[in-house]
Structure 1
Amino acid sequence: MTDPALLPPGLLVSAPASGTGKTTVMLGLLRALAEDGLSVQPFKSGPDYIDPAFHLAAAGRASFNLDTWAMDGGLLGAIAGQSAGADICLGEGSMGLYDGVATQGQTGFGSSAETARRMGWPVVLVVDAGGQAQSAAATAMGFAAYQPDLPFAGVILNRVASPRHERLIRLGMERAGLPVLGVLPRRGDLALPERHLGLIQAVEHPDLEAAIAGYAAFLREHVDLPAIRAAALGGARPEAGRLPAPPAQRIAIARDAAFSFTYPHLLEGWRAAGAEILPFSPLADEAPDPQADLVWLPGGYPELYAGQLAAAAKFRAGLCRHAETRPVHGECGGYMALGAALIDKEGRRHEMAGLLGLVTSYEKRKFHLGYRRARLVAEMPGHAPGAALRGHEFHYSTILEQPDAPLAEVADADGNAVPETGSRRGHVSGTFFHLIAAEEAA
């Protein structure tokens, strides 16, 4: 019988750096274990809103983010509690295993290692063996020794060129005392398609089911699945707080290829509290439900669909009617769509909803990436002036005009002010950061 004081046994799939193939390994493991009859609970460490949709497709179970910089202990516990009934948990790390920010946040610095330690999950390190042999063991050994209290399950070697290459790397790993849980031959067809914000969205993949099935077959052939299962451990169940409360009772939320970036724990919290989620598609020229209390435009890729959005007359008219009497909020791409205009990469100007004066340009690209802490100076749906919010910003668009009043005082993870303050006009508000959690009032 499962001990109710423990989480289901789990592992964290991580790597020394980005680009090692850990996402394809994660998807293959999720599907292979599910094919073996296990209920597999996926998680993503860090502020990523693309990978959880891939996890859901692979495991058939909703994936949730765990973020030690943005989330307090109660929220982490509530999200960990979504694993109830699962046989095994698999978490996917972000960036390198120990990568985080310099200034501590709610419960940590945002590293994948912190997530693994807090959940009690041993680490499976995916090592890109290209261009090295025994030296790969020195890298892996350094990661295992860097924080000796962090349990290591072993390594999966990726992009191994030949049997001789494998033998040399295994010799190094034996000397380092690290179990080899799998050896993946080099295959160029295993990469997921990408664009400027990373992977394409799961809904856009031309044949996602076939791709995931292929990853699972590949992993099943080259990874020791029984050893993977045996290495999983269940940590103590964290004391759970509450998932985020809904900002309204009936929430019309844009959901299509242009607007899809919403953290799963937010939607789960809204639904669990009894809110009604009313999806609509701006790209299909659908207006938000006229009975909605709030319209929420998530982030996404409006810069790729600016012409379609500009031509979506029913969507824009319905949005404007709603904003006359009730709140509308946009995040990142949704914020851009609420503005006066969006300039695409070719320099063409597209008229947006015009509910805010914001004008953004994807032609004049500038990289914006990092955690954000915002202190609201005005009301935002679900949050009063003075509330402190934590989120994450990731986009390439440049603000050309922002004539409206600021929504918040915004700083990066180290407390340095950033100019993207969000803005507000009447019932309409928007931010460039994606909301993760509100800080509990002292």
Structure 2
Amino acid sequence: MAAGLVISAPASGVGKTTLTLALARAWRNRGLKVQCFKSGPDYIDPAFHAAATGRPSVNVDSWAMDRSTIAHLVSRGSDADIVLAEGSMGLFDGVAARGVSGTGATADIAEMLGWPVVLVIDPSGQAQTAAAIAAGLRDYRAGVRLAGVMLNRVASPRHEDLVRRALDDAGIAVFGALPRHAEISLPKRHLGLVQAEEQAEIGKLIDEAARFVSEHVDLDAVMQSAASWSPQPAANGLNVTPPGQRIALARDAAFSFVYPHMLEAWRAAGAEISTFSPLADEAPDAGADVCWLPGGYPELHAGKIAANARFRNGLRAFAETRPVHGECGGYMVLGTALTDADGIRHEMTGLLGLETSFAKRRMHLGYRLASLAMPMPGHKAGARLRGHEFHYSTIIAQPDAPLAVVHDATGSVIAETGSRRGHASGTFFHLIAEDR
């Protein structure tokens, strides 16, 4: 029987991912089977989880997924010794309006699965107040149980003592305290962490984090705080239809933002996936019946994409007879042009009229509910799709027929409708699930 824990925090940026990776690798080094999940719509962290554990990780999301889907996804942890669900943002942070089974908050997953929460607290610039924050989070919502805290980036032994005493007075267990340690800092860029596959030394970094955490955290106490857990049988699996039988998937440093559960669902439904690299000037597999361009960082590689004639011509030829769909960065590459951060305009594939600019940066972030006005690969007109949007590019032109009516989590209509022209379609949101 597995044991389950949720790793969360009062806010973003306190070290949840690093500590999750360190715990996972430390327990793996002890010979334990460790399974990780990511709560919320983060498509980068699961690859780090897989690097730390040697097992694929997937997202679980209470706004976009129903309980049956979540139960199906977490059931892969049934053979593990310890299951860790890494939270996003703060423990109770979600959207204002409830989605399919919750607001997207990490607390939803903790309550749904009955897993206690280990809080990662960064007490920089405070001391006893850290205990007040932890106590407030402990008492905020019935059904969410606090196992204890791990302190990160403590300034000195005196600082640690002050915080520990206050937490002890509040009846909150402290599993360990980590001094600042730059060697285990994960590099970042504008959409989050630099991807695991782009970091040649990621294994060494995780090993160092595991060593460091093992020295400063009582791993046995953390393990003992976990809840025994047996997965509940799911009435249904993932409600995902593959976009085709043979899928050509763009996959490289510019096209990598795709949820692992989506690829797994496509394969489980019998689809075959062949990958190609636009950055290596590769064209999609001519034997595929659909091409899918995920999001990623095309704005960092716009010049190279524009110069890769074999990719662009191959994609255009493919789209003459078969569907091509792009999400976010992939959508931008299907467009006419992309202006980079230096203001240089690069010609893209021209399958859609979309033109975007990364020079005019504005953050677009949040859940999306789209009602398709016309079909896209894998989904009929009228389908209701749930996804998430996160990018900084600005639309300069979006002249093609709107693909969908898109609302944010509050129900407000947004301008990023997606587009369709001929066999090409695209959206700025990343698909998570279709409403049943």
Taking structure 1 as the reference length, what is the TM-score of the superposition? Answer: 0.97
- Aligned pair 1:295/2:287, yes or no? no
**Could you say which residue in structure 1 is the equivalent of 2:11?**
17
Q: 1:252 aligns with which of 214, 224, 248?
A: 248
1:363 aligns with 2:355: no
Task: Determine the structure 2 residue equivalent to 1:152.
Answer: 146
Query: What do residues 282-302 of structure 1 show as CA deviations (whole Å, max 9, x unaligned)?
Result: 000011110001100000000
**Match in the other structure for 1:132:** 126
2:51 equivalent in structure 1: 57
Q: Which residue of 2 aligns with 1:424?
A: 420
1:242 aligned to which of 237, 240, 245: 237
> In structure 2, what is the Cα distance between the partners aligned to 1:74 and 1:429?
30
From 313, 320, 325, the equivalent of 2:316 is: 320
1:332-386: per-residue Cα shift (whole Å, max 9, x none)?
A: 0000000011000111111111100110000111110000000000001110000
Contact 2:71 2:231 in 1 (8 A): yes
How many angstroms apart in 2 are the aligned matches of 1:321 and 1:387? Answer: 28
- What amino acid does structure 2 have at the position aligned with 1:229? M
Task: Give the alignment of 1:124-273 within 5 angstroms.
Answer: 124-235=118-229, 237-240=231-234, 241-243=236-238, 244-273=240-269
CA distance in 2: counterparts of 1:250 and 1:418, whole angstroms: 33
* Cα shift at 1:75: 1.2
Q: Within 5 A, what are the aligned runs for 1:6-45?
A: 8-45=2-39
The amino acid across from 2:109 in the alignment is: T
Structure 1 residue 206, shift from structure 2 partner = 4.3
Report which stretch shifted further, 202-211 or 87-96. 202-211
**Which amino acid is the alignment partner of residue 376 of structure 2?**
M
Which residue pairs with 1:98 in the alignment? 92
Could you list the structure 1 runs, at least 4 aligned residues long, displaced by more than 6 angstroms after superposition. none
Residue 239 of structure 1 deviates from its aligned partner by 4.1
* Contact 1:73–1:107 (8 Å) recurs in 2: yes
> Would you say the 8 A contact 1:119–1:234 is kept in 2?
no
Match of 2:429 in 1: 433
Between 272-281 and 330-339, the greater mean CA deviation after superposition: 272-281
C-alpha displacement of 1:327: 0.6
CA deviation after TM superposition for structure 1 residue 190, in Å: 2.5
* Structure 1 residue 149: Cα displacement: 2.4
Contact 2:47 2:196 in 1 (8 A): yes
**1:387-427 deviation per Cα after TM superposition (whole angstroms, max 9, x unaligned):** 00000000000010111100000000010000000000111
User: Hey, what does 1:123 align to over in structure 2?
Assistant: 117
In structure 2, give the amino acid aligned to 1:377: A
- 2:303 equivalent among 302, 307, 313: 307
Q: How does 1:360-439 map to 2 (within 5 A)?
A: 360-439=356-435
TM-superposed CA distance for 1:236, in Å, is 5.5
Q: Is the 8 A contact 1:120 1:234 kept in 2?
A: no
- How far is 1:164 from its partner? 1.4
Q: Secondary structure at the match of 2:247?
A: strand
Q: Distance in 1 between matches of 2:414 and 2:405?
A: 8
Q: Distance in 1 between matches of 2:187 and 2:398?
A: 34
Q: Secondary structure at the match of 1:246?
A: coil
Structure-1 separation of matches of 2:197 and 2:397: 32
- Bigger shift: 217-226 or 199-208? 199-208
Q: Distance in 1 between matches of 2:398 and 2:48?
A: 35
Shift, 1:234, TM fit = 3.3
State the Cα distance separating 1:78 from its structure 2 match: 1.3
Contiguous gaps of at least 5 residues in structure 1? 3-7
Work out whether residues 120 and 236 of structure 1, in 8 Å CA contact, stay in contact via their aligned partners in 2.
Answer: no
Q: Supply the AA of the counterpart residue of 1:295.
A: C
| Aligned-residue identity in percent | 62
Any idea what SS the aligned residue of 1:16 has? coil
Kindly tell me the number of residue pairs found equivalent between the two proteins: 434
2-side partners of 1:254 and 1:234: how far apart? Answer: 40
**Residue type at the aligned position of 1:32:** A
1: CA distance, partners of 2:435 / 2:268: 20
Cα contact 1:9–1:87 (8 A) shared by 2? yes
What code does the residue aligned with 2:411 have?
G
Preserved CA contact (<8 Å) 2:388 2:430? yes
Per-residue CA deviation, residues 123-148 of structure 1 (Å, 9 max, x unaligned), is: 00000011111221111111111113
Q: Is the 8 A contact 2:22 2:207 kept in 1?
A: yes
Question: Aligned partners of 1:189 and 1:37: how far apart in 2?
Answer: 25
- Aligned residue type for 2:130: A
Query: Given that residues 78 and 231 in structure 2 are in contact (C-alpha distance below 8 angstroms), is that contact kept between their aligned partners in structure 1?
Result: no
Q: Deviations over 1:207-250 (max 9, x none)?
A: 11111111110111111111111111134534422122322111
Aligned to 1:5: none
Listed one character per residue, the Cα deviations across residues 233-281 of structure 1 (whole Å, up to 9, x for unaligned) are 1345344221223221111101100000000110111112221110110
CA distance in 1, matches of 2:410, 2:143: 27
Higher alpha-carbon deviation: 87-96 or 179-188: 179-188
Residue number in structure 2 paired with 1:88 = 82
Q: For residues 386 and 245 of structure 1, what CA distance do their matches in structure 2 show?
A: 15
**Which amino acid letter does the alignment assign opposite residue 237 of structure 2?**
R
Q: 1:150 is aligned with what amino acid?
A: V
Q: Aligned with 1:17: secondary structure?
A: coil
Match of 1:353 in 2: 349
CA distance in 2, matches of 1:55, 1:153: 22
